[in-house]
Amino acid sequence: MLRNALGKTCRFLGYTVQYGCIAHCAFEYLGGIVVCSGPSMEPTIQNSDVVFSENLSRHFCCIRKGDIVIVKSPNDPKSNICKRVIGLEGDKVCTSNPSDFLKSHSYVPKGHVWLEGDNLRNSTDSRCYGPVPYGLIRGRICLKIWPLNDFGFLRASPNSHRFLDD
Residue 141 lies in a domain: yes
* Average pLDDT of the residues in 148-158: 74
Is position 16 within any domain?
A: no
Residue 15 within a domain: no
Radius of gyration of the chain (CA): 20
| Structural domain that includes position 120 | 32-163
**pLDDT single digits (tens) 19-74:** 888 887 777 777 888 888 888 888 888 888 888 888 887 777 788 888 899 999 88
pTM assigned to the model: 0.76
Whether the predicted pLDDT of 158 surpasses 70: no
| pLDDT tens column, 98-152 | 667 777 788 989 989 999 888 888 888 888 888 999 989 988 998 888 887 878 7
Catalytic (active-site) positions = 40, 83
Please report the pLDDT score of residue 166 as a whole number: 46
Residue 25 maps to a domain:
no
Could you tell me if residue 20 is inside a domain? no
- Is residue 17 a part of any domain in this protein? no
CATH number for 134: 2.10.109.10
In a domain, 6, yes or no: no
Q: How many domains does the chain have?
A: 1
Integer Cα distance of 2 and 82 in angstroms: 52
CB 27 within 8 A of CB 54: no
Asked if residue 148 is part of any domain, the answer here is: yes
Q: What is the pLDDT of residue 160?
A: 62
Q: Is the pLDDT of residue 164 over 50?
A: yes
The residues facing 52 across adjacent strands are 33, 143
